[in-house]
Amino acid sequence: MSQFTSAFWDVYIGLITIVSIVACAVLLKMQSVRKPVESETSGHVWDENLSEYNNPLPAWWAWLFYVTIVFGLAYLVLYPGLGSYAGVLGWSQVKQLEEENTRAQAAYGPIFDRFAAQDIVALSKNAEALAIGQKLFLNNCAQCHASDGGGSRGFPNLTDKDWLWGGTPEAIRTSIADGRTGAMPPFGQALGDQGVKDVAHYVLSLSGQASDSIRKARGEPLYKASCSACHGPEGKGNPAIGAPNLADRIWLHGSGEEAIAAQISKGRVNQMPAHKDLLSPAKIHLLTAYVYSLSGK
C-alpha cells in the first residue's frame, strides 16, 4: 500500500490540476482571438442550406469563462485541493465538524446534562427526555432497528421482551456504548448434513413447533453435546454471552427447518457497533432510557 500513500501522488494531483486549468485558459484564448472569416464554415450543414460559420467565441462568454478560471485558482490557494496542500485558510471538513460540534455542545450540552444524573427508569417515563431520545434513536439506530424499533430480519426487535444481551438499563447502556459481537460457530462439518437436520428438528421442538419425532430423538443428544453449553439444556439461552433463547417463537434470522439448519451448518456472526466514540455519555444515557421505554417496561 505504500505506493498509494507516497508523496508522489500529492505532486501528481497538484500538477495535473494546475496544468488542466492552464490548458483550459490557453484553449479559450486560442478560440477567442481568431478573426471572423465570413466565407469560412465548419462544414456542418442542415436542411440543405443552413451552414455553421466558424466564428470566434462571443466575448461575454469568454470573459465569463476567464472569471471561472480565476475563481478556481483563488479557491485552490485558499482551500485544500492540491494533494496534501491545506490552503491558506487551513479549512478542512474535520475542523469544520469539530467547530460545529463545539457550538452544538455549548448550546445543547446543558439540556443533556440536566437529564444525565436522573435514573433511567424515571427518564423512560419522562416525555421531554423521550422526545430527545427518539431523535437520537432516529439518527443513530433506526437504520438497523427501524424507526419504530421493530427491527427486521437479522436486526433485533427492541419493542418486545426478548433481549439477547439482557434488557436491564445497565445491559442496554453497555450494548449502545461498547457494542456487541455475537458469534455462532458452524457445526456443518462436525455434524454432517443429516446431523444438522436432526438438531434443527430438535430445536424446532423446543419452541413447540412441528418437528419430525425421529429426527428430534436423534437430534437431542447432538444438541446437548454441541449446543447446550451456550443455549442451555432447555434452550433458553444465555444473556451473558448473547446466546438466543430457542424455546420461544422469536427468531432473529428466520424459523423453519431450512433457516435453522443453515445457521447450525454455516454459523452466524452479528455485530452491533459501539457508539461511545460517537455520542457523549449524556446522550447515551438518554438513548438508553428511550430504548428501555420501547419494550414497555
Number of structural domains (the chain) is 3
Domain holding 204, by residue range, is 182-272
Whether 101 is covered by a domain: the verdict is no
Enter the pTM of the model.
0.72
Residue 215 CA to residue 195 CA, distance in Å, equals 9
Residue 154 in any domain: the answer is yes
| CATH number of the domain bearing residue 168 | 1.10.760.10
Task: Based on the fold, state whether residues 246 and 209 are members of the same structural domain.
Answer: yes
Q: What is the three-class DSSP state of 44? A: strand
pLDDT digits (tens, 9 = 90+) for 224-268: 999 999 999 999 999 999 999 999 999 999 989 999 999 999 999
Residues 213 and 253 in one domain: yes
pLDDT tens across 27-77, in order? 888 877 766 555 577 777 888 888 877 777 788 888 999 999 999 999 999
Same domain, 238 and 126: no
Instruction: For residues 196 and 99, give the distance between their C-alpha atoms in angstroms, rounded to a whole number.
Output: 56
Q: Beta-carbon neighbour count of residue 144 at 10 Å?
A: 13
Same domain, 155 and 230: no
135 and 147, same domain (yes or no): yes
Bridge partner list, 136: none
Query: Among 80-84, 89-93, 254-258, whose mean pLDDT is lowest?
Result: 80-84
Does a structural domain hold residue 76?
yes
Distance CA 280, CA 44 (A): 66
| Judgement on whether residues 169 and 287 belong to the same structural domain of the protein | yes
Query: What average pLDDT does this structure show over 198-220?
Result: 96
Does 279 lie in the same domain as 175? yes
Contact assessment for residue 150 and residue 144, using Cβ atoms and an 8 Å cutoff: no
- State the sign of the Cα–Cα–Cα–Cα dihedral 136, 139, 144, 146: positive
Determine the Cα–Cα distance for residues 262 and 285; give it in Å rounded to an integer: 38
The answer to whether residues 252 and 263 touch, using CB atoms and an 8 Å cutoff, is no
Distance between CA atoms of residues 111 and 129, nearest Å? 10
Torsions phi, psi for 182 (to 5 deg) = -105, 125
Structural domain includes residue 99: no
Strands 180-184 and 268-272: antiparallel
